[in-house]
Structure 1
């Protein structure tokens, strides 16, 4: 085989299983060995389940199921997501010993597909932060430079995938929590359309902001994992249904000539995009134009008034969590901050905020009706040191820093549209994500374009070894074989000829 087992993506691992070159037990053990070697540095897992993983792998081998679909391929589950019989802490000391009796819907689907979970990946307390740190195992690092945060809240999942601890993993995204760490860790992460992935009979997404979704090193793996979890259920409040064909079937299909709206500046005043990040985004726009798409740079179509209303919804959900007053001191300062803010809002204010988000994002999306895809930076900054997020004792300042870091992602949650981060470029030896989004229900367009871009631009697909100061090819190197257009088209939607 040449390469180590952990370097293969999920598709190639499944192919090795089908050909009988490895067993499910071999794969599980290889990844567990990799975790033992590197996770003390990364802290990507909260709970490891090696015995259960090896037992599951051996059962798959005995039943002759290895390589049946993706049966026997390792994965991991974010620690926000209930997993029967496995400690699920939600990143909080309050739930350090919680062991659910039932699986979340997406976990049941993964079990039904006979993927082998190696454990629960790290997340900030209750998934509230755009960085991953908690009082249980501490901060998660990006494998590209230990000491810089992996992003959040699916930071453990993204770091584990990037370092080859698992080929793919389940994440969740309520304001960018799949895409933020995917950018920091140099992997592919997709937040689906609102309602595409069902919360199942026991789950709830009352605000419409959050969704489970896939993180992987390749677009085809992201599409295949989405196929496994995008299974509608009776009673779904936001029914999207299944596509006419599998998402994985469109990754290698030419998307046709698409109209791409691109903006590189945040919608928030006093927040700017780091010039190094903006340079990667500009290269991404040129790459899309070189592939034959019509790229127009426009002003950010989302108004800044969305931010305070989003915070009403976000904080109200945290304030509603059934946490007794005597337990409040055990919470992290960030969690207490959001609970205090949420407690000040009335039911009428919450209803008004939800209506504002719906009507305002609908107006913005209507203004984008002539476009197929939207292209922005994923983040406004490069990955930051752990302490940059936590050094201040002022929670309002800590929140401001998070806005400086990630001012692009949350609007896609507000609008309910599919959005993905792809590891397009590098700056100062660190990964920089390019974010692509589409209209609601159009994951196929998005995945087809992502597949085309992946095939045309050299972004790394093999895991990196943590600790090392990786300085691989710059984003300019990846464009070496694309013909360069003279310029990106600069005009507004109303200026069409």
Structure 2
């Protein structure tokens, strides 16, 4: 007999729609898995079983089954506020914070009929690309618990990979959906800037941060993205919504059909190359080559894109990352509760001259234009998802912020520039290391090009046959 967590999210959604299973039954099943498994994974910052069962009963009795995520379980990332639930932001400085109001994303998934089971773990304020903060145990990779799950949506990715959730929303300001998705063998989509009303990236400095789905396969990711957007309707009903002719959602159809032939570019240089020693591991190369071979066999045009050095990028991006940390609402004695990386970023940010910040913003705006122009001839651009294999837990320097930042860049040099350019991008697992840990690739789309990315990702997923795989022993 198939257990509920063995179904894809789309299959589970169909079971719920047919009333073959109830929202309460589904919530209880996943809560039981969380209770049994999470001690070894550390995917959750907070679990709310009583609230989850009450919410499932409410959905069952009072919410129309037409709601796009009716009865589907998920978890709020611990950066997103849910009224009445501790929201610690991954920080000891917010250990006792319980918000009175919910964030827009939380309200959006509630409007879509979802059932929150708790809060997924995140590193402090979502700043690092790994989830191993001092506020809780490290989040471990279900494929190999000696390895990290990535970040900052590491808890969400680990919960989905281990079958403690069917899918989960995350947020991505420099790779925070795609990095943990790639590390945990999942599909992770960072939408275009402005695509999702609940997290459009328009209010954040340089427009970096957006929200999107993490799932075990392409169709499940599309289902969740549609659910997050659907309460406002398609085209997304907010005045900054991306408009791309013929490429608006819903996206589930494109992900299921997986149709079309496209022109793909391949990029292996990064804008960090002039500042750090960037090495692409053999495993990352192998995953990229497998994806190239698959797309070539499927009839797509595949062409290498010549390197385009951007020596000004590292300094400009670091300035923006530090300036963003400067706004952290911690002062005085409470600063001692911050982790060294956070404190380094925050203090550097607070000491920045206004002119330096203005110059960095202007430089990155020009960079955005150059990236879009560079990729304009292609329907999508293919890169490695990670440059290295997922690092072991404890690999990152916890005392030297400068070295820590460099270590993160060396693992994840292909993600942050996509946020700066405001482009959509999706990670897809295609290969694995000798130890069985998945390795993936990243597809970057045109502005508003999510439907094309879902179609390409679905074709790749079918070709390499990696959709919906579970790690052993979970």
Range class of TM-score, shorter chain: over 0.9
So what's the TM-score if we normalise by structure 2?
Answer: 0.93
- Aligned-CA RMSD value: 2.0
C-alpha contact 1:122 1:132 (8 A) present in aligned 2: yes
Cα distance change, pair 214–17 in 1 and its aligned pair in 2 (3 A): same
Equivalences for residues 47-196 of structure 1 within 5 A: 47-63=46-62, 65=64, 69-196=68-195
Deviation at 1:323, TM superposition (A): 1.6
Structure 1 residue 441 displacement after superposition: 0.9
- Aligned partner of residue 186 in structure 1, secondary structure: coil
Structure 2 stretches of 5 or more lacking a match?
Answer: none
Deviation at 1:165, TM superposition (A): 0.5
What residue in structure 1 maps to residue 411 of structure 2? 405
CA contact (8 A) 2:140 2:148 kept: yes
Displacement of 1:201: 11
1:476 aligned partner: none
Cα deviation, residue 345, structure 1: 1.4
Q: CA deviation at 1:139?
A: 1.0
Superimposed CA distance per residue, residues 126-182 of structure 1 (whole angstroms, 9 cap, x where no aligned partner): 001010012221210110011210000000000001111111111000000000000
* Residue matched to 2:2: 3
CA distance in 1, matches of 2:49, 2:270: 43
Is 1:354 the equivalent of 2:361?
A: yes
d(CA) in 2 for partners of 1:393, 1:201: 33
After the TM superposition, which of the residue ranges 345-354 and 34-43 deviates more from structure 2?
Answer: 345-354
Q: Find the counterpart in structure 2 of residue 470 from structure 1.
A: none
CA contact (8 A) 1:24 1:66 kept: no
Asked if the contact 1:83–1:107 (Cα under 8 Å) also holds between the matched residues in 2, the reply is yes
Which residue of 2 is the match for residue 227 of structure 1? Answer: 226
Q: What secondary structure, in the 3-state scheme, does the structure 2 residue paired with 1:55 have?
A: helix
**1:381 equivalenced with 2:388 (yes/no):** yes
> Which of 265, 268, 272 does residue 268 from structure 1 map onto?
272
CA contact (8 A) 2:248 2:451 kept: no
Alpha-carbon separation, structure 2, partners of 1:183 and 1:61: 34
CA distance, structure 2, for counterparts of residue 202 and residue 251 of structure 1? 24
Establish whether residue 240 from structure 1 lines up as the match of residue 242 from structure 2.
yes
CA contact (8 A) 1:105 1:201 kept: no
Give the Cα–Cα distance (whole angstroms) in 2 for the partners of residues 203 and 364 of structure 1.
Answer: 19
CA drift of 1:358 comes to: 1.2
Query: Could you tell me the TM-score, scaled by structure 1's length?
Result: 0.89
Q: Distance in 2 between matches of 1:341 and 1:206?
A: 16
Which residue matches 2:349? 342
Native 8 Å contact 2:68 2:227 kept in 1: no
Query: In the aligned structure 2, how far is the partner of 1:64 from the partner of 1:257?
Result: 40
Give distance in 2, aligned partners of 1:416 and 1:244: 16
CA change 1:415–1:367 in 2 (3 A) is: same
| Alpha-carbon contact 2:90-2:126 (below 8 Å) kept | yes
Deviating more after overlay: 455-464 vs 171-180: 455-464
Which residue does 1:13 correspond to in 2? Answer: 12
Aligned to 1:299: 306
SS at match of 1:190: strand
Cα separation, 2, equivalents of 1:114 and 1:216: 18
Deviation of 1:466 (Å): 5.5
SS of the equivalent of 1:461 reads coil
- 1:65 Cα offset (Å): 4.3
